Structure 1
Amino acid sequence: MGYPKDLLTSRSIIKRGNYALIPQEGLVNNVIPGFEECTISILASPRLGAHFVDYIVTMHEGGKNEKGYGEEGVQTFVYCIEGKVKASTSKESFTLEEGGYLYCPPGEKMYLENLQKEDTRLFLYKQKHQPLEGHAPWVVSQNVNDLEWVEYDDMANVHIKDLLPTDIAFDMNFHILSFEPGGCHPFIETHYQEHGAYMLSGLGVYNLDNEWVPIKKGDYLYMGAYVPQATYASGREPFSYVYSKDCNRDAKL
């Protein structure tokens, strides 16, 4: 809510390098070269303290990126929140609908095109790849609806899906974590990895650096390295989100 109907207020919380809550309200459009007929907002970035960049993209009728997204040494990932988009590499194309995603390894550009008159909404990501001698990641495209849920830490009311192969060639992964009403993490985590998370459904309350923060569908959450973190579902439907996590590499000195 804001002027002229009410006071200027915000649910945003920004603690650089630690954590950030960014709701949909208050996002501004960023002009990103190569994206046409798109409303796009940069969420996490190095300016926030993240070692990756996340975006929320609304592709309007005719929305596209023909120039190609990505660059040498940088890996990219797109997740279709709603709508229908053609996501392509230099060699193949994929039609992504709700729950569909495409991962492109470093050096392989991603091309996007809205396939409907209505808006298509995307969660987009990029990060520098940490190469590992003798191993190279590859293009991956699937739909989360075709993946099996796995119990999270043997809890029947919390489930997870791995979106990318659990192969050492990949230095990151994307997951969907889903909590049934009343479900929660088994403990408050404190770890080296960073997360960028987009809320797909429901309501939750998140412990972030020992502060409890309400969160809901459409919110974006950045969690930096070592910030204490855990959540529980507080609504009447599953609380779920898609998120990135760095993995399979040692810490650098």
Structure 2
Amino acid sequence: MGYLNNVTGYRNDLLANRAIVKHGNYALLTPDGLVKNSIPGFENCDATILSTPKLGATFVDYLVTLHQGGGNQAGFGGEGIETFFYVISGKVTAQADGKTFALTEGGYLYCPPGVIMTFTNAQSADSQIFLYKRRYIPVAGHAPYLVSGNTSQLEQIHYEGMEDVILMDFLPKDLGFDMNMHILSFAPGASHGYIETHVQEHGAYILSGQGVYNLDNNWVPVQKGDYIFMGAYSLQAGYGVGRGEAFSYIYSKDCNRDVEI
């Protein structure tokens, strides 16, 4: 086990960390202090496990750096498990359902439950990916299907009519899907229109910029490379701050299902 930031040994200052963990409510995980996990099937990779049921999430998120020749040929996913794969940087070749996908930065692949994906770094330099898995909740008469593409092909939606807040949806609005993945991007000074409170939960990896995020009515500075977990009914909203670069993050959301009791 090593550290994601590759910093070891004594520090020259007091030990401190911006991370916050409120189990079942919300969490902010920063690169400093996150560890590299040894996971069967992941070869020549630095894999970090982010949200899990141990934190209170119904899904698992991973941040993975693929070194030269690195990847997962054993298979990611399984019976009843849906998966999502996003290329943060680099080039990756993925396989699923007998098809091969050449994915570059912004490329993605969703696999429905029971469809196993494999992937390999397709360049000599490192590639970095964001991975998600969740137990699928079926609904009669509908089924999900394999989806792949690139963010360059997605519609850029003015979020709730705000021209300086851009939303991109990865998956179709179809009852076969019980989750979606999105990118939300705020120009500096832009924000949500209100503080949200809802049953859906999120796992969000910040791709660019800086922001100030309301997590259960606590305003917290965040930036590129941070990860946020937001549990059900955790109050949430964000402002884009910084100089010139959009505050942008990829995040998951459960949807299209009633609440089981």
Q: Which one of the candidate residues 242, 247, 259 is aligned to 1:251?
A: 259
Q: Which one of the candidate residues 58, 63, 74 is aligned to 1:67?
A: 74
What RMSD in Å do the two structures reach over aligned CA positions? 1.0
Q: Which one of the candidate residues 94, 100, 105 is aligned to 1:93?
A: 100
For residue 126 of structure 1, what is the aligned residue in structure 2?
A: 133
State the alpha-carbon separation in 2 of the partners of residues 250 and 82 from structure 1.
Answer: 36
Q: Which one of the candidate residues 54, 62, 70 is aligned to 1:55?
A: 62
Aligned positions of 1:73-222 closer than 5 A: 73-222=80-229
1:53 positional shift: 0.2
State the alpha-carbon separation in 1 of the partners of residues 88 and 200 from structure 2.
Answer: 24
For residue 33 of structure 2, what is the aligned residue in structure 1?
A: 26
Q: Unaligned 5+ residue runs, structure 1?
A: none
TM-score, length-scaled by structure 1? 0.98
Structure 1: which amino acid aligns with 2:60? V
State the alpha-carbon separation in 2 of the partners of residues 191 and 89 from structure 1.
Answer: 34
State the alpha-carbon separation in 1 of the partners of residues 173 and 10 from structure 2.
Answer: 48
State the alpha-carbon separation in 1 of the partners of residues 141 and 234 from structure 2.
Answer: 33
Q: Which one of the candidate residues 243, 248, 254 is aligned to 1:240?
A: 248
1:3 positional shift: 2.6
Structure 2: which amino acid aligns with 1:138? Y
CA shift digits 1:76-128 (9 cap, x unpaired): 00100000001110310101111000000000001010011111000000000
State the alpha-carbon separation in 2 of the partners of residues 80 and 219 from structure 1.
Answer: 16
For residue 235 of structure 2, what is the aligned residue in structure 1?
A: 228
State the alpha-carbon separation in 2 of the partners of residues 161 and 242 from structure 1.
Answer: 9
Give the SS at the match of 1:156. coil
State the alpha-carbon separation in 2 of the partners of residues 29 and 159 from structure 1.
Answer: 32
State the alpha-carbon separation in 1 of the partners of residues 32 and 10 from structure 2.
Answer: 13
Give the SS at the match of 2:172. coil
State the alpha-carbon separation in 2 of the partners of residues 114 and 6 from structure 1.
Answer: 37
Q: Unaligned 5+ residue runs, structure 2?
A: 1-6
TM-score, length-scaled by structure 2? 0.95
Give the SS at the match of 2:114. coil
Percentage identity across aligned positions?
A: 58
State the alpha-carbon separation in 2 of the partners of residues 106 and 223 from structure 1.
Answer: 24
State the alpha-carbon separation in 1 of the partners of residues 225 and 117 from structure 2.
Answer: 24
Give the SS at the match of 2:163. strand
1:62 positional shift: 1.0
1:148 positional shift: 2.0
Give the SS at the match of 2:181. strand
Give the SS at the match of 2:78. coil
